[in-house]
Chain A
Amino acid sequence: MRYLPLAQADREAMLATIGAPDIDALFIDVPESARLGGPIAGLPNHSPEMLVERELAAMAGKNLTAGTVPFFVGAGAYKHHVPASVDHIIQRGEFLTAYTPYQPEIAQGTLQVLFEFQTQVARLTGMEVANASMYDGSTAMTEAVFMARRVTRRKKAIVSGGVHPHYVAVLNTLTRFTDDEVLTHTPSLTSGTPGDDMTTLIAAIDTETSCVVVQNPNIFGHVADLTPLAEAAHAAGALLIVVVTEVISLGAVKSPGEMGADIVVGEGQSIGNGLNFGGPYLGLFACRDKHVRQMPGRLCGETVDADGKRGFVLTLSTREQHIRREKATSNICTNSGLCALAFSVHMTLLGEKGLRQLAAINHARAVQLAERLARIPGVELVTQRFFNEFTLKLPVEARPVIRKLADKGVLGGVSLGRLFPGVAELTHGMVVAVTETATDNDFDAFEDALDEVLA
């Protein structure tokens, strides 16, 4: 077996050193009722690399891949071009097969990357400090709500209807079992400003409120000025949590930090990471300096070694589970280290100049397509101020339309019916994402196909 170096002679010599008659003697503590006589039934035996590859490739071949069709699916995960050097670097064994940097003297590579990543994320979000990453955007948002509770010592979170419904669902799952109060809102497809419920949110803020959670651009693609919301939250002693699911937008849209956010969480997949059917992704988490000791997750900090040389370590670990156990700020242990590396490499390749240009391309292409699709009879462009994603209201239910588009070889977007099951007002809505990867031919194919499906 190719992954097992021990030869039978080694095993025998080692058993002799141990003083055990056979391997079974080492499993003596296993209760008799649980001992198995041989390999577990119902599974195949070992297989050569070539056959494993053939079988998995056959499964992969049954999927319609984004790169082979006109592709406009977004809603929290985005198809962007990832430079070849990113994947090369994350496959270096020294990064790929290292562990969490618990022995900093021989993990400076990972640690310096994390320090640089934290700096990049803080600047991108317009915040002062960022952690070394979380599982994904949705879990980062839930952790942010719990952090706001620790900071404010209040338990009521107010959540905008414009937040990704999966993110809200995750928050609802975890607060179902705590004494947190979560006030959610059902979004509406208001013409021009879908999902913008700022007036309602501001009215709901009171002295019990720990935080207001809002997404920008929101799930419908709408971009809002969050400054009035930040002011209202702060006046009541509450925090503003801003969720960003498309980080490329931060190269074009005023940052949450500039609009007064106290905590920014996001899904970092767009930079450096592929679609991967939903994971692994990269949770971003940034906040103000004054709240850093309430932050969840790992943090890398600068220090010096015994010779006075600059070096990096994991720090403030007294917040974490392995020290604090049941009093920890979070139970998180593993994060998304390698996805953070991919993000950081891609961000380094882009730099500010590249990021701004990439964001500008995304925005311009989205505007072009939105205006074309809006000319199809019966189709309304609901989102007016958007970055690279917008909502269309169709004359019919969107979910079957998207299936029919797929039959025509066009992956045209996400139906709001799938995202918000049971909300009748949204069933005609479709969210369309446009990135730098879409060509003019893709635009033509999409327009023609949608025209035909709706005809």
Chain B
Amino acid sequence: MAAQYPALQVVLALLAAPVCLILRRPNAAWAVATVITWISLALALSLLGRVWETGVILYPMGDWAAPWGIEYQIDTVNAFMLVIVTLIGSVVMPFARASVEAEIEEERIYLFYCMYLLNLAGLLGIAITGDVFNLFVFLEISSLSSYVMISLGRDKRALTAAYRYLVIGTIGATFYIIGVGMMYMTTGSLNMADLAAILPAVADSRTVLVALGFLTVGLGLKLALFPLHLWLPNAYAYAPSAVTVFLAATGTKVAVYAFIRIFFTVFGGVEIFTAGVIPQILAVLAALAMIGASAVAIYQTDVKRLLAYSSIAQIGYMVLGISMVTVTGLAGTIVHLFNHAIMKGGLFMAMGCILFKIGAVQLDQFEGLGKRMPVTMAAFVAGGFSLIGVPLTVGFVSKWYLVQAALEKGWWLAVAAILASSLLAVIYIWRVVEVAYFRPPPKGSAEVSEAPLSMLVPLWILIGASYYFGIDATQTLDIAFAAAETLFAPPL
């Protein structure tokens, strides 16, 4: 049984999605989605444990041997990704029940859970597969389902946000398969490990370089790398809260993972980094994202949009770590994947609680919220500290390693960008804090009125986790460093 875990990891969620469709009852669909997510988490944890003890797990799908068949390859990197995705999903599900009921029409709720499960399957598939074309299929499964989920938002701008995301996302995915096609033309293989072995011999050809270009832009669109981020703010701002939490915490993270996989595993043997200008380009884009998006965040009046821009800045951190091409930098990126997932998930959950009670997340609606929703706002402030990078939070840990990596490289401008971006974070978080705590509640508002416990508990689980893993970061960092070293190791 345990040998089949890699397949079950993806297939369970995939099969459960149509079950929701048949059940139709909101509560039943919710129960199925929740149970499946929790089982997936258990599977992911057991896979991570096995990888940690015995090394890479290879799982040929349907016993078709690689490189012809599709092979799942699980090493520390993607085992960690599987845990991140399922962990966030497991916390989001209890939260989603009340939140979704409040934000989505009842007859569409089962569709939401169906789409969520497809999305989960897609993200897990991206993380687990060792085949570049299979990755494309899962990428599209997750993308198509996320377009639908975003369009379920009750603001009509959610529709246009979903439409724009669809157009941009499809272009990104198409770019990605163009790149894959070109690699296939030169190597005749789609298996990542196989590609890694063959590519160095043919790396001089222009086809391979163009392939890399298409792959970079395609995945750059998916992970919202500045300046390819335009779809993200509206998509996050107008999607239902539960969707925003899940997508913000996992969607772009998995895309970053795919990016790392392509650059370090598939092109691992090719000296694209040492020879080309790619690291510099990535570093510059990352720094622009960190500073630019943070600066734009300051001027937002919709707090969900503010957090969305902050996400773009945080993706900049991750790309910066990648662009350094050092173990420390990459470990910083990987640990930030996890850290940012839990802190941003928590912050968007706080938005969900506020939407649930107040019905809007415009900044001027936050007046006196420190008194009216003390538990939620305390969580927001605590999560905000993490975004700023106050010590004892996970944000501090990520920042520490990214700065250290930049220092090792002697990249002073990168150091400056990281620190400047943290300071901008102080400003945009503090704008919200001032309104919430220093302005009196509007007249006629209820005294204290909190979101239900089913939302507050998941919220505080994520916020608590962002402190737990900030106080004792040794476990996450051990995994991140092991993962980074795997990526730098020569291919199998």
Question: Do A and B belong to a common assembly?
Answer: no
